[in-house]
């Protein structure tokens, strides 16, 4: 039986804990309104202005090799948009690299938990190794297309920002294995959808061999997702048994 990871304690965050204080707080919001002029429409207008005036998040770098220049020129000539595929490849590379680090944090969490499950630790290590394999598959694909796998593309930049929240959950000493695996689930859900899209992009871009290699990664990612989902389900059901 899984050790129960949620307890009832002195949680005073809800308004039911102090109705009188809640009433006073609500009255204070009436007596002391926000000192910033305007309403939500002004806030929305300001955000719209900022969006219109902002620059894009970086760009896809021009090829730095003769091979890359030739392939890019050829794709452009036949109506392809190689920068779109390279941007998404950069995103997947960043995502898989981060995935290796996330699973390292997850392994530490699982090993440190009371009554640590060696089978879970071994499974997490296996997934981590496969994430590293996927990272190298993407790196090789970028190199095949004449791109630079060390370049930070716009989507790669965004992927790094998105993963920060999950990393904070996993590295917080207070979070449980169950909570951390739920955070991992969000990563695996996106990972599966992203690989499916990347395969379609590679095929449409005229790169069937690359798409085939990506199919291998997708099959493993589907197993990762099923494994994480099953752990969360079994763990929570065991806690209420």
Q: Which fold has domain 53-239?
A: Ferritin (1.20.1260)
Residue ranges of the domains in the chain? Answer: 53-239
Tens digits of per-residue pLDDT, 136-168? Answer: 999 999 999 889 999 999 999 999 999 999 999
3-state SS of 162-227 is HHHHHHHHHHCCCCCHHHHHHHHHHHHHHHHHHHHHHHHHHHHCCCHHHHHHHHHHHHHHHHHHHH
Report the candidate in 18, 32, 35, 181 with the shortest Cα–Cα distance to residue 109.
Answer: 181
Question: How confident is residue 53, by pLDDT bands cut at 50, 70 and 90?
Answer: very high
- Are the C-beta atoms of 220 and 128 separated by less than 8 Å? no
Give the global pTM: 0.82
Q: Tell me: the pLDDT tens digits for 56-68?
A: 898 998 876 655 5
């Amino acid at each position: 039986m899984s050790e129960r990871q949620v307890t009832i304690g002195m949680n005073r965050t809800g308004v039911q804990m102090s109705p009188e204080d809640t009433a006073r707080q609500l009255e204070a919001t009436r007596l002391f309104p926000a000192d910033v002029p305007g309403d939500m429409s002004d806030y929305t207008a300001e955000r719209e202005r900022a969006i219109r005036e902002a620059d894009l998040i970086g760009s896809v770098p021009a090829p730095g090799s003769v091979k890359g220049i030739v392939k890019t020129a050829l794709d452009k000539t036949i109506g392809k948009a190689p920068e779109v595929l390279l941007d998404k490849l950069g995103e997947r590379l960043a995502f898989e690299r981060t995935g290796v680090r996330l699973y390292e944090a997850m392994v530490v969490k699982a090993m440190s938990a009371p009554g640590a499950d060696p089978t879970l630790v071994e499974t997490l290590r296996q997934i981590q190794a496969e994430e590293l394999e996927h990272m190298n598959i993407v790196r090789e694909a970028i190199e095949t297309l004449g791109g630079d796998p060390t370049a930070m593309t716009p989507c790669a930049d965004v992927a790094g920002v998105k993963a920060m929240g999950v990393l904070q959950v996993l590295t917080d000493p207070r979070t449980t294995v169950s909570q951390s695996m739920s955070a991992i689930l969000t990563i695996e859900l996106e990972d599966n959808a992203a690989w499916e899209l990347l395969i379609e992009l590679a095929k449409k871009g005229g790169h069937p061999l690359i798409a085939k290699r990506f199919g291998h990664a997708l099959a493993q990612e589907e197993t990762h997702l099923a494994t994480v989902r099953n752990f969360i389900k079994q763990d929570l059901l065991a806690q209420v048994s």
